[in-house]
Each structure stands twice: as C-alpha cells, then as structure tokens.
Amino acid sequence: MDRETKLLFNALMYEDGHKRRTQHILKVYALSKVIGENIGLTERELDILKASAILHDIAIKYCKEKYNGDCSQENQIKEVPKMVREFMESVGYPNDYIEEAIYLVKNHHCYTIEFSPMLQALIEADLIINFYESSKDKESIESYSNLFKSDAGKSMLENIKNTL
C-alpha cells in the first residue's frame, strides 16, 4: 500500500465505522482530487491536498471525547496539529508536506483569509459535500457562492442549486 492509501485506511479505521464521518471523508477526498486536478495543482500539491482532505475533520471524534461532546472549531484547531502530524508521520509523509497539511486542515472553515489553490480546492470540496449532506435551501447555498473560484466547484454548485 502506498502512503496515501495507508493514510486513508488509518483515518477510516480511526472513525470506528461512524457512517456519516466515514462517508464524508471518502466524498471530500474524491472531490478534492477532482477539483485539484481541474485547477492544475502539481503532483506534490495534489498529494498534500489529498492527505488534507482525508484528515480535514479528524479532530471531531477526539474533541467529542476530550471536551465532553464539544467539537467546536476552536477545539478542533487546538488538536489538529498533533493529530495530523501523528497520522501523516505514521505512514511516511515528509515534514514539509505535514506542515502544509496542518495549515490546510486548520483553515478549511476559515473563509476570511486568502486561499491558496490547495485551500481553495479543499474548501470547495468540503462545502459541496456538506451541501449534498444537508438540507440547505437554495438561498443558503447561494450565500456561499462567492467562495467558489474553480470552474469545477462553480459548476457543481450550480448543479446543486438546480436540483432544489
């Protein structure tokens, strides 16, 4: 198994069969890859993006346990560096990849900063999957449209809105 496959397997095993989180990981991982390739990320950037997509919500379970059910963004951001580092080191990612992945995972819900192409792809993939998984109405989804910059993300957002 390559390190990406090992990382994905380890993350899915960590979730202990939790249906929603397991499926969410798989969907955001796949869509991040599609968007990343669509916007022309380098192979290195795609590797970091895919690892970040796999781990983007990894702190939820831990925070629920450690903070008596409180998996707020604040608590997740506190725990992300250690968790992402441990998961990625365990399968052989280099330190520079890990540092960039930590940044992406910590900031994938921060919509007020300048987005690098990798962060843009992760944010768009996570939002699109969240829209599919939620019962948001067209107006709610439209309020996020300014965050979409990639052609793939914009097209998928339009598809979602057209089904409502």
Q: Provide φ and ψ at 18, rounded to 5°.
A: -60, 115
Distance CA 23, CA 132 (A): 12
Q: Judge residue 84's burial from the number of C-beta atoms within 10 Å of its C-beta, 0-12 exposed, 13-18 middle, 19 or more buried.
A: buried
Quick: pLDDT tens for 50-96: 999 999 999 999 999 999 999 999 999 999 999 999 999 999 999 99
Distance CA 14, CA 141 (A): 31
Mean pLDDT of 29-57: 98
Nearest partner of 10 among 1, 97, 48, judged by Cα: 1
- pLDDT at residue 163, as a whole number: 86
- pLDDT at residue 153, as a whole number: 95
The answer, yes or no, to whether residue 136 has pLDDT greater than 90, is: no
**With bands split at pLDDT 50, 70 and 90, how would you rate the model's confidence at 152?**
very high
> CB neighbours (10 Å) of residue 159?
10
Provide the whole-model pTM.
0.96
Per the prediction, the chain carries an average pLDDT of 96
**With bands split at pLDDT 50, 70 and 90, how would you rate the model's confidence at 137?**
confident
Distance CA 61, CA 11 (A): 11
Distance CA 44, CA 66 (A): 34
The number of residues in the chain equals: 164
- pLDDT at residue 96, as a whole number: 98
pLDDT cut 90: percent of the chain above it? 93
Helix (H, G, I), strand (E, B) or coil at 71: coil
